[in-house]
Amino acid sequence: MEIFLDTADINAIREANSWGILSGVTTNPTLVAKAGHKDFKSAVREICKIVNGPISAEVLSLKAEEMIREAEKLSKIHKNVIIKIPMCEEGLKAIKALSKKGIKTNCTLVFSANQALLAAIAGADYVSPFVGRLDDIGNDGMKLVAEIVQIYRNYGFKTKIIVASVRHPMHVIEAALLGADIATVPFEVLKKMVSHAKTSEGIKRFMDDAKKSKQKI
């Protein structure tokens, strides 16, 4: 499984990338606004300089023709840019057209197996089921991931599954157990994945014992 960071915060991206575990980044208009970027394309360009992997940048239009034009502009920023296209009828049209042009896409805001199936047929390179938002309304987000994994395996689709809207570390573990390709996580969740009370306890004990016995390297 690959780990992506779901943010547009440059400092968080730079720090996570320094850990050696980051394979890509996903962004959207909400995350870009939250990070306070004044120029979206400059932000994407900066992220591409930090992380050598897929960087998802989302279009802002809802008409296929406009999505395609925006996608062409975004794809010119860097070879690693993946175009996020929302799941809708116009989005499917755009995904199909962009696939023919060789521009990679990430079909986002997926909440059903039907949507994921259509995205794969249209030619999406990635599909992003939003597990946390489904959990928020009383549905089982990971059940959706399991359905998508099985469908894609049944028919040999090459579309990669990005588990998105991750709320906590267990979402990542569950996604990995199901065989999802990628989990894109907020920085706070990534930090929780690193931590464990027993690890902290063990480090403190080792350091205290080393200090008491005056060990040196």
Active site residue 84: yes
Q: Could you tell me which CATH number the domain at 2-212 has?
A: 3.20.20.70
Spatial CA neighbour of 131 closest among 196, 71, 79, 185: 185
Q: Name residues whose C-beta falls within 8 Å of residue 108's C-beta, 6 or more positions apart in sequence.
A: 28, 56, 58, 84, 85, 86, 87, 128, 164
Phi/psi at 138 (5° precision)? 85, 10
Quick one: 203 exposed, middle or buried, by C-beta within 10 A (0-12, 13-18, 19+)? Answer: exposed
Considering the candidates 38, 63, 76, 84, report the single residue annotated as catalytic: 84
Question: pLDDT for 160-191, tens place per residue?
Answer: 999 999 999 999 999 999 999 999 999 999 99
Query: Could you tell me the residue ranges of all domains in the chain?
Result: 2-212
**Which of 17-21, 31-35, 40-44 ranks highest by mean pLDDT?**
17-21
Which tokens hold the place of 13?
């991206």
- The yes-or-no verdict on residue 65 having pLDDT over 90 is yes
- The yes-or-no verdict on residue 73 having pLDDT over 90 is yes
Phi/psi at 63 (5° precision)? -105, 135
Which tokens hold the place of 114?
């039907």
Under the banding of pLDDT at 50, 70 and 90, the label for residue 33 is confident
Query: 3-state DSSP call for residue 186?
Result: coil
Query: 3-state DSSP call for residue 54?
Result: coil
Query: Between the CA of residue 1 and those of 16, 21, 61, what are the distances in Å?
Result: 16, 11, 31
Confidence at residue 126, expressed as pLDDT on a 0 to 100 scale = 98
169-178 helix and 187-194 helix, angle to the nearest 10 degrees: 80
